[in-house]
Amino acid sequence: MNESNALRVNMPTVDAVRAAAKRFLALWLGAMFLKTESYSYARDQKNPFGQALIYIAVLGVLIATAGILGAGLRYATLPNGDATKNAVLGHLQAMPFYESWNASLQDSFTQGYERTWDQLGSMFAGYPTTTAGFVTLLASLLTTPLGLVITWIVYGALVHLVARGWNRETSFTEMLGALALATSPQLLHVLGLFPTGGVSSGVVSLWALVCNIFAIRVAYQTTTRRAIWGAFFPILVVTVIVVLLVVVGLALLVPVSRTVGGAQ
Amino acid sequence: MNFTTLFIGALTLKHQTFVTLRERSDVFWRGFLVLLIAALIAGLFSSIQAALHVASPPQDKEQAIALAIANFRSSYTGPAAMSDTIETYISEGIALGYDIQNLPPRAGEGARPVVALVDYVGNVLATPFRFGWMGWTLLAGLLFQLTSRLFGGRASMAQMLGLSSLAAAPQVFSLLTSLLALTGALSGIGSLLGFVIAVWSAAVYVKATAVAQNFSIGRALGAIVVGLGILLGVVIVLGVIVAVVVAGVIGSMRG
């Protein structure tokens, strides 16, 4: 083999891409509709972690691509952001509360409104209204798959913590292989491509929970009751941590607000 | 079993259809197809009104403001001095809504029909995945699967979700309520029709639970009632916790 041959990269053929897309779709449908064979297949791969990583990365890139295209579509089909901003401001300024203020208060209000619009305008507009927002949107091609992968590994580690005793033969990577398929409902977010479409996050979360229970049951070949406990354990841990953080935050906030209140 | 047989079997509560579906390996997928088609057909009609609204935004701003102010005057019992101020807020609020709706798309005024079409397609495609469709099927399926275990049920999750998806079949007739709402007539008949569809769906749901779990109708009803009781209890407990936390925070900030 000479040097030029060694460096040559063969482009995948159309048939190879089509076959890969077909395999992906079959696996996705199997995952969504709780087919035991799909979850067993993902668990029993030679390299379950690697295969699962690719599966989640593809999902993430598809979701992010739809998000970017959706933002473009919203940009074209929704009214100009500045026109919306000015229409809202014009009516706010015609309201009695604004007219009752002096000029300096009116100026502060207008400046505050402009600042808020700059920071939160993209939430109302549905597309980035600042350069930072645009960069964040493009970066979602990387951050969306990364977020899915981190969630998958952390969730999986917490599940394995309680579930490994149920079946010692199931390794962490085998469980992750099956659990990766439970990320499948996230792909429904591609419907967010349409400006008024979009899928309820609650529905996606519920579907993912059902898939997680099923994946844990298949991965550890255990009972549904244990699988439910395994699937809820990470949620319970995160909830406890969040509640503790909120309680600690409030405990710190209340004395501060009292001090500020006392000083005034 | 083809799709038409499955759909009609679900609508007519045909026992054999439910049993045949239960034994299939793709039970959840087949059940979901019934929900998907029913939701898409219902969505095709329920989304028309919103699309028409986008294509031709309302022009009668002054009329709407006058109507809102007349309604306010007929029901207002507060101090007379406040009346003018409140009326200004009402008229500005309504004018704001109208002005935003009337803003042209960035692509231009001529793009309104295209925007309406894109919105319409988005709404229709999203319908099956709204909480009222797939969301409720998943939540109720998971909950009643758990309570059915207490009653000795033995269905797999896929069987429970697949069969309970059939309860969406009668919802296909909600296209009639959408059409009635669109014409703006016969709202009483529309409500009655909505009630009939809801009862019909509930009957299919009970039948689906009974067949999936190999239960009698009475036992299926028991599992569902216990599940609904648990759901109600959870909602009440969460509500109380939120109320206590909010009251505590407000109290300590005041104190």
A258 contacts on B by Cβ (under 8 Å): 253, 255
Q: Residues of chain A with pLDDT > 70: what percent? A: 92
Cβ distance of A254 and B114 shorter than 8 Å: no
Higher pLDDT, B139 or B51: B139
**Does residue A82 carry a pLDDT above 90?**
no
Residues 36-75 of A with CB under 8 A from B: 73, 75
Nearest CA in chain A to B99: A87
Task: Write down the pLDDT at residue A2.
Answer: 55
* Average of per-residue pLDDT values in chain A: 88
Asked if A34 lies within 8 A of B158 by C-beta distance, the reply is yes
Chain A partners of B143 at a C-beta cutoff of 8 Å?
Answer: none
Q: How far is CA B118 from CA A76, B54, B58, B114, in A?
A: 11, 10, 19, 6
Strand partners, B105: A79
**pLDDT for residue B255:** 60
Q: How many angstroms separate the CA atoms of A235 and A213, rounded?
A: 12
d(CA B247, CA B244): 5
Note the pLDDT of residue A249.
85
Question: How confident is residue A216, by pLDDT bands cut at 50, 70 and 90?
Answer: very high
Distance from CA of A31 to the nearest CA of B (A): 11
Q: Do B126 and A194 touch (CB under 8 A)?
A: yes
Contact: A29, B121; criterion CB under 8 Å: no
B221/B207 Cα distance (integer angstroms)? 9
CA of A217, closest CA in chain B: separation in Å?
11
Output B114 or A161, whichever has higher pLDDT.
A161
- Chain B neighbors of A254, CB-CB under 8 A: 249, 252-253
For residue A116, what pLDDT is reported? 87
pTM: 0.84
pLDDT of A210 higher than 70: yes
Neighbours of A108 (CB within 10 A): 11
Higher pLDDT, A263 or A252: A252
What was the ipTM of the complex prediction? Answer: 0.83
Q: What is the mean pLDDT of residues B140-164?
A: 93
Q: What is the pLDDT of residues A165-176, one digit of tens each?
A: 898 899 999 999
Q: What is the mean pLDDT of residues A18-27?
A: 92
pLDDT of residue A228: 92
Mean pLDDT, chain B, whole residue set: 88
Chain B residues inside the 8 Å CB shell of A214: 157-158
Find which of A78, A191, A194 to mutate to test the B interface (most B CBs within 10 Å of its CB). Answer: A194
According to the model, what pLDDT value does residue B47 have? 84
Is B99 a residue whose pLDDT tops 90?
Answer: no
Which of A95-99, B2-6, B127-131 is predicted least confidently? A95-99
Reported as a pLDDT band with limits 50, 70 and 90, residue B111 is confident
One-character DSSP codes across A53-103: HHHHHHHHHHHHHHHHHHHHHHHHHSBPHHHHHHHHHHHHHTSHHHHTS-H
